[in-house]
Structure 1
Amino acid sequence: MKTPPSKARAVIVGGGVSGCSVAYHLAKLGWSDVVLLERRKLTCGTTWHAAGLIGQLRPSHNLTRLAKYSSELYASLETEAGLATGMKQNGSISVALTEHRWEELRRQATLARIFDVEAEVITPNDVSKLYPQLNIDDVIGGVFLPKDGQCDPANIALALAKGARQRGATVLEHTQVTKVLDDGRRVTGVRWEAGGEAGLIETDVVVNCGGMWGRDLAARSGVTLPLHACEHFYLLTEPVEGLAALPVLRVPDECAYYKEDAGKMLLGAFEPRAKPWGMDGIPHDFEFDSLPEDFEHFEPILEQAMNRVPLFQDAGIHTFFNGPESFTPDDRYYLGEAPELRGYWIAAGYNSIGISSSGGAGMALASWLDSGEPPFDLWDVDIRRAQPFQRNRRYLRERVSESLGLLYADHYPYRQPETARGIRRSPLHEHMKAQGAVFGELSGWERPNWFANNGQEREYRYDWSGQNWFDNNRSEHMAVREGVGLFDMSSFGKIRVEGRDACAFLQRLCGNDVDVEVGQLVYTQMLNERGGIESDLTVTRLSETAFLLVVPAATVVRDIAWLKRHLKDEFVVVTDTTVQEAVLCVMGPKARDLMRLVSPDDFSNNAHPFGWAREIEVGMGLARAHRVSYVGELGWELYVSADQAAHVFEAVMDAGAEVGLKLCGLHALDSCRIEKAFRHFGHDITDEDHVLEAGLGFAVKTSKEDFIGREAVLRRKESGLERRLVQFRLTEPDAMVFHNEALLRDGKIVSHVTSGNYGHALGGAVAMGYVPSKGEKAAEMLESRFEIDIGGRRVPAEASMKPLYDPSHARMRA
């Protein structure tokens, strides 16, 4: 056996397709001293039994770019490595059996065109011609992607490993990583065992590609990697006479996929409730193993398949297979550097799309490692979205039993998970529940999304048009616009940055000038060297040496990691204080009337102008009142210590009866903010979106001598904008827009909707999206004819560079 080297530039743990792809791409970039260690044999965990489906279309542009890259890479690997990869671009068909699914498929076809993936919307007869074995009696329609396909998963991984070796990487089997070493701040090496021997490799980069084993390996280093194995079933028939090559077929309404495989037919399932596996950890000696059969669990899928593809009525069963795969709480995989430990990188948790994802994921991670920054926005799969509590095994076991099935469920807007709920609750949770709150979940937080009326069911009824809470949302929205509403925003991320050098540190990280008077608020972004937006936040100066950063609930881990990564030899302490304070947002033109009823303090403009914070009395408690607004109305965010939150809420509610106070949910917050064209991080603005093109130049002060991204801002000012973020209002009042719909300019697709909601005060759906405009002035661009494609129907849209609601911002400064 070859002994591992004593030093390496990077050590990759795990020899499945993910680890082999990372090794291949690092070696391709010139990292010749890369070592891949596999505890048993390459592909022996999940890769060897994967179905090998190669799909290109994913929910976002960049994830689609990665999947397309995988497909193109695998098509060329056979020639490069001299191994048969079984790669066939025989296409894929997805069919709809319900109107709701048909709406989703048509939207996906439009999405494919936006992302430059060839797609055809086809009739049942077209489906039958492409797939004669299919019973189309109740098929409404389908979508055909001609360049999708299938492959031999194990040989794909082996070809990648061979390519890595040819470029100088070391790939060793039967070598177990027993521990990742660190000095408390960053990785320093790994310990290994092999054939009775043991040793140490010094390295400052470790990539955990451990799949099912990855979670426990990460936990030993204090790193959160939330994934859990589930049993995954498929059936392979005996050879079927006359069975020709066929496209991959997906029938998501029956939770099934079909693949012709060398004259046999494979039937696989993503059943609504999966069976988690490996609750006590994955056995060390698990290698090319299968799990016990459970035909009773699979039988409902097979019964439907016998009707859908009648050849299953007569074909003999060659193999009934049950093998484990790892799934994540949100059905998205993980990439990137762990926030807990520098040099500890992740590429794992592929949710049964590891073959089609790993080629692109390995390329992206290698590029990230090589250049120090991701090649494009990868927030959808960034490991920094994971919350520390999600490493809890009971939570994971319950959630993945649902998330596996959600892969083939209807992907409705606003869909909420049903399992593993109630884990993170505001101090006001029970108060909200008693008032009729219907909760949604984000990063584990239970947040009131809307409030049910007396006698109304407290459930979501999902649809692609107005859902059952649409009228509730209108009522809450208009209360904020015309009266006063109250939001529980305790889930806001709250980060204290304090110490002697806190001001200078934040001046270096923030685009805006945060060296302001004590009590003043500053809206700003933290930028990367490309001028992209790493964080969207407000900074409040609490004292000469202490600042409060308020960020979205989903980005707290990301933002703290960004702050700590950029600490130099500075006396600064960064602390997550999210759970120390509840936040009550009192918003609307009657907000001042309400505050005067509940507090003896002066809320006039002179005493408390917009953009300032101060301590006030509320009821018999204290709060820090921030005069700021994400809904575009007069209002205050009340930050209250958790122990006084219930009392302050009760005092505000009692006083609110006099002015018609209405409790409002997150859906109303979002519909109000989009009327004001306020940006949403992760949708409208990302680390790939230049701050000037996002229309946020007012929050950047290039007069400051030095901050991250300053040079990129100056360069873009000099060269001019290549695109602009524009607000749109659909002219048909019944049209609904959510996210990723095609944006057309003068009849041609030029972009997609980054976020959308219904603007009740504006009388129509409102959307945001970037429009290419290189060399144009904004006024010239706005003279164009704009439309938004909704499931194949083009709806005219009014475009504006200024907020369509209250463009002068007079209302929130009233």
Structure 2
Amino acid sequence: MADFPTQAQIVIVGGGIIGCSTAYHLARLGFKDTVLLEKHKLTSGSTFHAAGLVGQLRSNANITQLLGESVKLYRTLEEETGLATGWKMNGGLRLACTEERWTEVKRQATTARSFGLEMHLLSPKEAQELWPLMDVSDVIGAAFLPTDGQANPSDITGSLAKGARMNGARILEDTTVTGFRIENGRVVAVETDRGPIACEIVVNCAGQWAREVGAMAGVNVPLVSVEHQYMVTERIEGVTSTLPTLRDPDRLTYYKEEVGGLVMGGYEPNPIGWARDGIPAGFNFQLLPSNFDHFEPLMELALGRVPALQTAGVKELINGPESFTPDGNFILGQAPELTGFYVGAGFNAFGIASGGGAGKALAEWIAGGRPPYDLSPVDILRFGKNASDVEWVRARTLEAYGKHYTIAWPHEEHDSGRPLRRSPLYDRLAAKRAVFGEKLGWERPNWFAGEDEEPRDRYTFGRPNWTGAVAREHAAAREAVALFDQSSFAKFLLTGRDAEDAISWLSAADMRRPVGSVLYAPMLNPRGGVECDLTVARLSPTDYYLIAGTGAATRDFDWIRRNLPKGLDASLVDVTSAYAVLALMGPNARRLLERVTRDDVSDAAFPFAAWRRLNLAGAPVTALRMTFVGELGYELHVPVEFGAALYDALTAAGADLGLTDAGYRAIETLRLEKGYWATGAEVGPDHSPFEAGIGWALKLDGPEPFLGREAAEAQAAAPLKKRLAGFTVDDPDVVLLGRETIYRNGERVGWLSSGGFGHTLGKPIGYGYVRREGVDEAFVLSGDYELDVATVRVPARVHLGALYDPEMARILA
């Protein structure tokens, strides 16, 4: 016990690749008082049996960047530590055997180009030249990423561990964590079977044990274990050490070279969950019994691709459980339940590919108190209350696993664990043939099918089957009045004697406005990026009502709560479930309101950017006059028990005014025409208000301090590095989805953050940042633009500002 530390600055739990990478990067950053605890031996969980493929391309630029950091590290780590890693940058092939898959691959090639990742499209013959053992008779095309590769999981983890020790970190094996000491909402010590370790920060990198470790501290880590099998062959003639990794998604399989043979695994559509009642004690360096019957369908698919497997000797069929998550993305970041408790887990069998970059990002997150760049797709704060139920997590995770190699369709929805969270209008809308989507467990109407339309999504890379229905809903909002159920909005109440001072510090907007005001209230991080994108109504001198997007519920609440100034009388309460929200949008919206209330809703009595208490058909309503679709609009916030009655009254009163039920896909097409930004796409922590074109919202004219002010002032005085712009394409058959590459005068200058179709304009619309040092309005508007859509360049027109002006009832494009 003499060498056992009784205190440390940072304690990492888990000695797999993620834990060792995090320790390595923390030590490199100067956090030498870092201790890593492993209950058995390094890699003894799931790292030792990982397949070791390292791919980089993802649908998000920052996650692609993170994976690229893994490659950068793996290329130099062996030289640094003197320990072999097995790293080989032999490239990666991805096959397409159907026209739809080939479209997906071409769109992936465009995405790679957007993100600056080298990717080449190949003919079947060219692909076979790189991978001579495969039969390409059914292959339409392939993609090749030359900087992808493979590594030996145990070796690379050992090398990271040595690098961590070389830089001062300590690694203790055979040390089991038994609990945590928590004081005033933060962890102050880790309890182990060898004694306690006082600490400031805990990092849960326990792999498939991460949920159990988190539960000891009252932290929910939404992941479960799933069986994952792959086969290792004896030597096969023609398999060389330089053979690229191969992914064959239409046959659900992947391959890599290993000691002259092949590793072949895959993602079956009927996965088997494991350890439903907890992981057995002593499960270290262990595998599960091989399940040949379950693997057989994958084997049959593989034989058609690699005929040499028919005669190859099989060394073993490895069945190793791995941790998977409900959305297929890994989990990083500070848990919302505690301060100083971080998580790095749930890597969905991509731990080796992610390990180097994820450990670096997590270490920088800990060092700086915030992520080094926007990592919201993998942030633990992306989950909602539904993810606290392990049975829901398991159902959704098994569905996500089964879809791992299916085509990633635009707008695709999950089916499992539904319906769960329902607004009071759910049954009424379902009876009207609503087709629902789901976010954070909420059922939200995406569109409404007509009597002659199938009420079901049919996915495609072309124009989908809901196009006509969304066009009708879009037209109703432009020409008459549409009713949207937006009850899933995140809704918070900031209350207390010092609420005004608190929100004035938190928000970059002027929040010292009269009671009755509705404000756009962006909140900035210390780097000047937009951390929260909120609408705020001042209800009273001591109460502010905050509204955020559904998906931002956990994240925004966490940010606001953690950044409330100390010592002020101000508290934050989540009231999301207390209120339904019915949004009336369109030129007939006021006429409809007048039919269900005796209150004055004239423009003079109820102007834009104001809220009023209204009695609507017997329901007490907090009505906000605002719009996200570019028309006269009201958000009606009503206690949930009144929601159904209010809906019925509006529906009855609006029949002759053209009232139409509408869904979220119409909201998207409408906001694109109006040039409104979307949180997480056009606006986020990596974008300054000036780059996004919303600098007008900041209170920089006065002296009042606010979080991020210093950075915002520096941004305002400096040339822009990027500028948000809109783009239209004259060809209505072009489908814009986001991530299409933007070219200006033939030079790649960015990519679309979102895309869709404007039914009033009759054109595809996209938004994205034009990136160049010193970019200004003149630069943006002076160029000739093209968009790369699935490797085809199409002419585009650039715009700054709205494409449609409802006040003038005309198109500006």
TM tier, smaller = over 0.9
- Structure 2 residue aligned with 1:690: 688
- Structure 2 residue aligned with 1:203: 199
Which of 605, 608, 623 in structure 2 is aligned with 1:607?
Answer: 605
2:668 partner letter: D
- Structure 2 residue aligned with 1:96: 96
Matched residues in 2 for 1:504 and 1:415: separation?
43
Query: CA contact under 8 A between 1:274 and 1:400: conserved in structure 2?
Result: no
Cα deviation, residue 675, structure 1:
1.1
Cα deviation, residue 132, structure 1:
1.3
Matched, 1:296 2:297: no
Which of 333, 338, 360 in structure 1 is aligned with 2:357?
Answer: 360
CA offset digits 1:573-628 (Å, max 9, x no partner): 10000010000000011111211222222221001101111111221222111100
2:695 partner letter: G
Matches within 5 A, 1:358-397: 358-397=355-394
Matched residues in 2 for 1:758 and 1:508: separation?
39
CA offset digits 1:183-228 (Å, max 9, x no partner): 13111110011xxxx3111111000001111112112222121001
- Structure 2 residue aligned with 1:218: 214
Which secondary structure state, in structure 2, belongs to the residue aligned with residue 457 of structure 1? coil
Which secondary structure state, in structure 2, belongs to the residue aligned with residue 424 of structure 1? coil
Query: CA contact under 8 A between 1:632 and 1:809: conserved in structure 2?
Result: no
Cα 1:4–1:783 shift into 2, 3 Å: same
Query: CA contact under 8 A between 1:276 and 1:400: conserved in structure 2?
Result: no
Query: CA contact under 8 A between 2:673 and 2:761: conserved in structure 1?
Result: yes
- Structure 2 residue aligned with 1:778: 777
Which secondary structure state, in structure 1, belongs to the residue aligned with residue 405 of structure 2? coil
Cα deviation, residue 712, structure 1:
1.5
- Structure 2 residue aligned with 1:406: 403
- Structure 1 residue aligned with 2:751: 752
- Structure 1 residue aligned with 2:111: 111
- Structure 1 residue aligned with 2:798: 799
- Structure 2 residue aligned with 1:594: 592
Query: CA contact under 8 A between 1:731 and 1:795: conserved in structure 2?
Result: no
CA offset digits 1:438-469 (Å, max 9, x no partner): 11111111110111112432221110111111
Cα deviation, residue 669, structure 1:
0.6
Which secondary structure state, in structure 2, belongs to the residue aligned with residue 714 of structure 1? helix
Matched, 1:481 2:478: yes
Cα deviation, residue 808, structure 1:
6.9
Query: CA contact under 8 A between 2:722 and 2:775: conserved in structure 1?
Result: no
- Structure 1 residue aligned with 2:729: 730
Question: In the comparison of the two structures, how many residue pairs are matched?
Answer: 808
Matched, 1:525 2:522: yes
Matched residues in 1 for 2:396 and 2:742: separation?
35
| Gapped regions of structure 2 (runs ≥ 5) | none
- Structure 2 residue aligned with 1:462: 459
Matched, 1:275 2:272: yes
- Structure 1 residue aligned with 2:17: 17
Which secondary structure state, in structure 2, belongs to the residue aligned with residue 127 of structure 1? helix
1:200 partner letter: P
2:226 partner letter: C
1:635 partner letter: G
Cα deviation, residue 3, structure 1:
4.1
Which secondary structure state, in structure 2, belongs to the residue aligned with residue 725 of structure 1? strand
Matched residues in 2 for 1:203 and 1:537: separation?
36
Query: CA contact under 8 A between 1:224 and 1:388: conserved in structure 2?
Result: no
- Structure 2 residue aligned with 1:538: 535
CA offset digits 1:123-174 (Å, max 9, x no partner): 0111111111111111010001111111100111111111111111110111
Query: CA contact under 8 A between 1:337 and 1:343: conserved in structure 2?
Result: yes
Cα 1:381–1:2 shift into 2, 3 Å: farther
Matched residues in 1 for 2:263 and 2:774: separation?
53
Matched residues in 2 for 1:459 and 1:184: separation?
49
Query: CA contact under 8 A between 2:323 and 2:347: conserved in structure 1?
Result: yes
CA offset digits 1:492-543 (Å, max 9, x no partner): 0000000001000000010111111111100120001111000001110011
Query: CA contact under 8 A between 2:381 and 2:555: conserved in structure 1?
Result: yes
Matches within 5 A, 1:246-645: 246-567=243-564, 568-645=566-643
CA offset digits 1:777-801 (Å, max 9, x no partner): 4033211011111101111111111
2:453 partner letter: Q
Matched residues in 2 for 1:553 and 1:35: separation?
38
Query: Which piece of structure 1 moves more, 779-788 or 172-181?
Result: 779-788
Query: CA contact under 8 A between 1:773 and 1:781: conserved in structure 2?
Result: no
Cα deviation, residue 239, structure 1:
1.8
- Structure 2 residue aligned with 1:145: 145
1:636 partner letter: Y
Matched residues in 1 for 2:594 and 2:801: separation?
33
Cα deviation, residue 378, structure 1:
0.9
Matched residues in 1 for 2:711 and 2:86: separation?
45
CA offset digits 1:231-279 (Å, max 9, x no partner): 0011112221342231111111111101121111111011122111111
Matched, 1:232 2:205: no
- Structure 2 residue aligned with 1:30: 30
Which secondary structure state, in structure 2, belongs to the residue aligned with residue 584 of structure 1? strand
Matched residues in 2 for 1:242 and 1:117: separation?
29
Query: CA contact under 8 A between 2:133 and 2:238: conserved in structure 1?
Result: no
Cα deviation, residue 809, structure 1:
8.6
Which secondary structure state, in structure 1, belongs to the residue aligned with residue 377 of structure 2? helix
CA offset digits 1:714-750 (Å, max 9, x no partner): 1122122222100111121111111111111111211
- Structure 2 residue aligned with 1:189: 189
- Structure 2 residue aligned with 1:4: 4
Matched residues in 2 for 1:509 and 1:634: separation?
29
Query: CA contact under 8 A between 1:279 and 1:393: conserved in structure 2?
Result: no
Matched residues in 2 for 1:456 and 1:732: separation?
26
Matched residues in 1 for 2:536 and 2:22: separation?
38
Query: CA contact under 8 A between 2:178 and 2:191: conserved in structure 1?
Result: yes
CA offset digits 1:456-496 (Å, max 9, x no partner): 32221110111111111111111111111100000000000
Identity %: 45
Matched residues in 2 for 1:277 and 1:775: separation?
54
CA offset digits 1:378-412 (Å, max 9, x no partner): 11111111223312111122111111122211111
2:382 partner letter: R
RMSD of aligned Cα (Å): 1.5
Matched residues in 2 for 1:578 and 1:435: separation?
25
2:688 partner letter: H
Which secondary structure state, in structure 2, belongs to the residue aligned with residue 319 of structure 1? strand
Matches within 5 A, 1:38-49: 38-49=38-49
Query: CA contact under 8 A between 1:326 and 1:350: conserved in structure 2?
Result: yes
Which of 672, 677, 680 in structure 1 is aligned with 2:678?
Answer: 680
Which secondary structure state, in structure 1, belongs to the residue aligned with residue 774 of structure 2? coil
Which secondary structure state, in structure 1, belongs to the residue aligned with residue 727 of structure 2? strand
Query: CA contact under 8 A between 2:288 and 2:321: conserved in structure 1?
Result: yes
- Structure 2 residue aligned with 1:58: 58
Matched residues in 1 for 2:270 and 2:467: separation?
29
Cα deviation, residue 4, structure 1:
2.7
Cα deviation, residue 776, structure 1:
4.5
Query: CA contact under 8 A between 1:502 and 1:572: conserved in structure 2?
Result: yes
2:211 partner letter: R
| Gapped regions of structure 1 (runs ≥ 5) | none
Query: CA contact under 8 A between 2:328 and 2:401: conserved in structure 1?
Result: yes
Matched residues in 2 for 1:371 and 1:285: separation?
36
CA offset digits 1:670-719 (Å, max 9, x no partner): 11111111111111111011111110111111134100111212112212
TM-score, length-scaled by structure 1 = 0.98
